[in-house]
Amino acid sequence: MEVLSDILRSMRVNGSVYFCQFVEPPWSMSFSENEKACFHFIRKGDCWLSSDHSVKRLGPGDLLYVEAGRDHTLSSSEPGIDTEQSQQSSTLLLCGYCEFDTPAEHPLMANLPSLVVVTAEELLRHGWLKSTLDQLSKEYMSQKPGSAVVVDKLTEILLVELIRINFGYSEQNGFIGALFDRRISSALEMMHDQPHEQWTLERLATGVAMSRSAFAKRFRGRVGQTMFEYLTALRMQRAQAMLRDSNMLLYEVANRVGYESDLAFSKAFKRLLGMTPTKYRKKMRSQTQQ
């Protein structure tokens, strides 16, 4: 199993667009205490981004991602500059929100910066993604029957690609480095293929031709978690999907993710997610019905 694809699939990315129109100067939009991450695409014109005492100009074709809770402001003029002295033109903005359904945090997300700017030049190297952004704008503005579903699906694709672009499969980028490490990547593939197996340090180390101690040290250094911490989180992510999307009994879910008893499974689940499996299932179903 290709590990990164499996991780991204399990994240259940959700998002949509809530604003896409021309704004005329002088204008300013502030975003504070956002519960969800957000993104802004400058379709035409330009604007200024202010966040954490830093200021940056965004031009046409630039894409901005900001994590949940980070305050930021977009405006037609550079802060501190007299608006009458600055040259201003209308700006076409596409704004949306996004969230990742990952209560059991994955180390992959720990490496995603709180603010990411993908420049128009960078987007040109991902031609179909630029086309996706353009189509996203057109669908939102058209308001055709079914456009809401299309917008949501295109947003999901956009967010997954944003993660991939940001990491760029760089060996220097935290968890991605583990995927470039032949031995650690092989161990991750084994766990992702069969998370229900009774994996031990010895068994995985043998499988990748390493000593137990060398493997344990290398795994934690690359992944950012011990092998057992990662395995438990992986099992809970699989369990979340089963609890959310199926009617399997608790002991069946427990067996599917490698626990011999539903009691041991429930304890592990609550320790990691802060609630029992039963409560989690009820919560997810109530949200679906809203």
The total domain count for the chain is 2
Question: Which pLDDT band, with edges at 50, 70 and 90, does 169 fall under?
Answer: very low
Same domain, 149 and 189: no
Q: Is residue 8 domain-resident? A: no
Same domain, 108 and 142: yes
User: Three-state SS for 91?
Assistant: strand
Q: Is residue 28 domain-resident? A: yes
Q: Is residue 6 domain-resident? A: no
More confident position, 106 or 234: 234
Same domain, 203 and 82: no
Q: How many CB atoms lie within 10 A of CB 139?
A: 21
Q: E strands along 32-163, which residues?
A: 37-44, 47-51, 54-58, 63-66, 72-75, 91-100, 115-118
From 5-14, 49-58, 71-80, 278-287, the region with the lowest mean pLDDT: 5-14
**Percentage of the chain with pLDDT > 90?**
50
What is the model's pLDDT at position 193?
94
What is the model's pLDDT at position 73?
95
| Domain of 188, in residue numbers | 175-289
Same domain, 36 and 58: yes
State which of 143, 167, 191 marks the end of a domain. Answer: 167
What is the model's pLDDT at position 85?
53
Same domain, 207 and 92: no
288, two tokens: 């679906």
Query: What's the pLDDT tens digit per position in 234-244?
Result: 999 899 999 99
pLDDT at 262 over 50: yes
In angstroms, what CA-CA distances link 68 with 115, 156, 159?
10, 16, 14
Same domain, 79 and 221: no
Q: Is residue 3 domain-resident? A: no
pTM, two decimals, is 0.76
What is the model's pLDDT at position 266?
96
Same domain, 162 and 243: no
Q: Is residue 229 domain-resident? A: yes
What is the model's pLDDT at position 143?
82
User: Rounded to an integer, what distance in angstroms lies between the CA atom of residue 55 and that of residue 72?
Assistant: 10
State which of 115, 134, 167 marks the end of a domain. Answer: 167
Same domain, 253 and 140: no
Same domain, 22 and 161: yes
